[in-house]
Amino acid sequence: MNPFPAQDWPDDIFTEPEDVDPDTLANLGPLTRLAGIWEGRKGVDLNPKADGPERRAFLERIELQPIDPQANGPQLFYGLRYHIHINTEEEDITFHDQVGYWSYEPATGLILQSLTIPRGQAALSAGRASADGSSLKVAARRGETDYGIVSTGFLEHAFRTDSFELTITFNPDGSWSYVSDTMLSVRGQAEPFRHRDRNTLVKVAEPTPNPLALIAAARTA
């Protein structure tokens, strides 16, 4: 269900906001603590196999870099472009690769996560931060036309994704942890399978300011 109903949107759908602050890092709200480059070495993945669930440990690197402000008419987003790369200690091949955007709408508190994986799946999840800012949660459901999930024909046939939920918790030491739950309908299995990933990430590098912010800074230097 759309948590931001249409009656909350303005009648003027064309006019874009003026005097937009070019500094994305200063306007990310609850996404601020995600900006940067992160690594985690204690990831755990639980995924379905023919002989039963398989548990794998993994290594993860996530880059989250600010992009220029984005407008849909009056709607204004500040966001982060991200790339996730995961492998395991025992194998050099890529275990998981994912790209997308985190977006924040200051006017409403809306948080979006878009994701694409190269096995033929994409999703747009929506949610909000907790009231105290210590966590955020986004979710998407198959069949929704706004915050939904799309997959290849084979994945729909064999490993249908019915829902996705991601919860991020910001830790006192500056790290952050996540738990993602993907509910799968696996062909030949009577019960849904909860595909769960979890990890804790620590910062290894600071973000690079977005292009418009760099231009604005150079003009005032």
Q: pLDDT per residue over 30-83, tens digit each?
A: 999 999 999 999 889 878 777 777 788 999 999 999 999 999 999 999 999 999
d(CA 28, CA 22): 12
Burial code (b: 16+ CB inside 10 Å, e: under 16) for 83-102 equals ebebbbeeeeeeebeeebbb
Asked whether residue 1 carries a pLDDT value surpassing 50, the answer given is no
Q: What is the mean pLDDT of residues 142-155?
A: 97
pLDDT, residue 108, reads 93
Query: Residue 27: how many CB atoms within 10 A of its CB?
Result: 20
* Residues paired with 140 in a beta bridge: 164
Strands (E), 67-211: 70-72, 75-88, 91-105, 110-117, 121-129, 135-142, 148-151, 159-170, 176-186, 193-205
How buried is 132 (Cβ within 10 angstroms: 0-12 exposed, 13-18 middle, 19+ buried)? exposed
Taking residues 1-29, report their average pLDDT: 84
Spatial distance between the Cα atoms of 55 and 49, rounded to a whole number of angstroms: 10
86 within 8 A of 107, measured Cβ to Cβ: no
DSSP 89-106: TTEEEEEEEEEEEEEEET
In this prediction, residue 8 carries a pLDDT of 74
> pLDDT tens across 156-196, in order?
999 999 999 999 999 999 999 999 999 999 999 999 999 99
Contact 18, 75 (CB under 8 A): no
pLDDT at 10: 85
Tens of pLDDT along 92-108? 889 899 999 999 999 99
